[in-house]
Amino acid sequence: MTAAPGSSTRARPPRPKDAPRGNAAVKRVAFGVGGVLLLVALWELYKAVGPAEGVVVGDLTILPRTTDLAMPHVWDMITRLFGETGSGRNAVPVWSAVLEASAFTLGVAAVGWVVGVVVGMLLAVLMQRFRTAESAVLPWIILSQTVPLIAIAPLVRRWGSQLEFGDFTWENWMSVAVIASYLAFFPVSIGALRGLNSPDAIHVELFRSYGVGWWKTLFKLRLPASVPYLLPALRLAAANAVIGTVVAEVSIGLRGGIGRMIIEYAQQASGDPAKTWAPIFGAIAVGLVAAGFIALLGVLLRRYRRGEVPA
């Protein structure tokens, strides 16, 4: 309980709680950069002191080889980013090729994310509205995630190619987006269901006392109350969509994205080991952009993330 003095009517309103605290933000960035530097230092340290053939016990390799082939120097990887993709006429700098592929993958992942979020939200709303829907649908939602991606990729592709209406034709990137959404909808449906059911009985009864129906209660109470549950779910969905896109690009054989690039560059690894890492940096960049987008969403929705102080 809050003490009496605070309840004085004459007291001035307190300052908004989330005034920017510059110090904390700087600290967070510093820790982030520090973490990356630490990783680089560990990599280079192990490469310097570790045995070239790695640490092998019996037939088991416990620690990796430290040859330039297995573990290129970090600066080699970075330098390679600024080299050309090949020696041919249409060679471009590696970073620009990676950037292009990253943008492509990000676009497909974004479509998959949006579709997944919409489907997940609709399922959650359906399950909230009808108890029977929850017991009928929830087990399938959970089971759906146990099907390996490798198994569904060809299926999606085949079904998609059979779709035809008007001058619409199914394209491979759509199959990839569908697979991304297949991974993305799961955390959203689970998180949103928990969020939609999170309002206290007192709030639900208040809305009942106002004589408003289920839809108004959904939009004015359940959806706002679900935001704290939804944001982590959306973040997970974004990560899943990116991973799903990269993996599905490989298994469906979609050109233009990071997934295929990783495979292509890996095939050149024996001659150009540092180049292998370029698309991996691209994948990380895509993940960072996706995470940044969710963080931005969290800032926009910060009003809905206030915890109520119990009266």
Binding site for other proteins (CB under 8 A): 1-4, 6-7, 9, 11-14, 17, 200, 202-203, 205-212, 216, 220-221, 224, 227, 303-311
| Residue 200 CB, nearest approach to other proteins (Å) | 7
| Residue 124 CB, nearest approach to other proteins (Å) | 19
Q: Which is nearer to other proteins, 2 or 270 (CB)?
A: 2
CA distance 150 to 251: 7
Q: Which is nearer to other proteins, 191 or 279 (CB)?
A: 191
Q: Which is nearer to other proteins, 1 or 36 (CB)?
A: 1
Half-sphere exposure (Cβ direction) of 1: Cα atoms closer than 13 Å: 4
Amino acid code (one letter) for 227: V
| Residue 65 CB, nearest approach to other proteins (Å) | 55
| Residue 297 CB, nearest approach to other proteins (Å) | 15
Q: Which is nearer to other proteins, 158 or 306 (CB)?
A: 306
Q: Which of 252, 244, 245 is nearest to 154 (CA)?
A: 252
Q: Which is nearer to other proteins, 12 or 21 (CB)?
A: 12
Judge contact between 111 and 172, C-beta under 8 A. Answer: no
Query: Cα torsion for 231, 233, 239, 242, to the nearest 10°?
Result: -100
275, two tokens:
């180049």
CA distance 222 to 213: 12
265, two tokens:
């560059």
| Residue 195 CB, nearest approach to other proteins (Å) | 13
Amino acid code (one letter) for 113: W
- Give the distance, in angstroms, between the CA of residue 309 and the centroid of all CA atoms in the same chain: 32
Q: Which of 125, 118, 147, 123 is nearest to 137 (CA)?
A: 123
Q: Which is nearer to other proteins, 158 or 216 (CB)?
A: 216
165, two tokens:
């209406």
* Residue pointed to by tokens 């890492």: 277
Q: Which is nearer to other proteins, 191 or 257 (CB)?
A: 191
| Residue 245 CB, nearest approach to other proteins (Å) | 33
| Residue 15 CB, nearest approach to other proteins (Å) | 9
Amino acid code (one letter) for 298: G
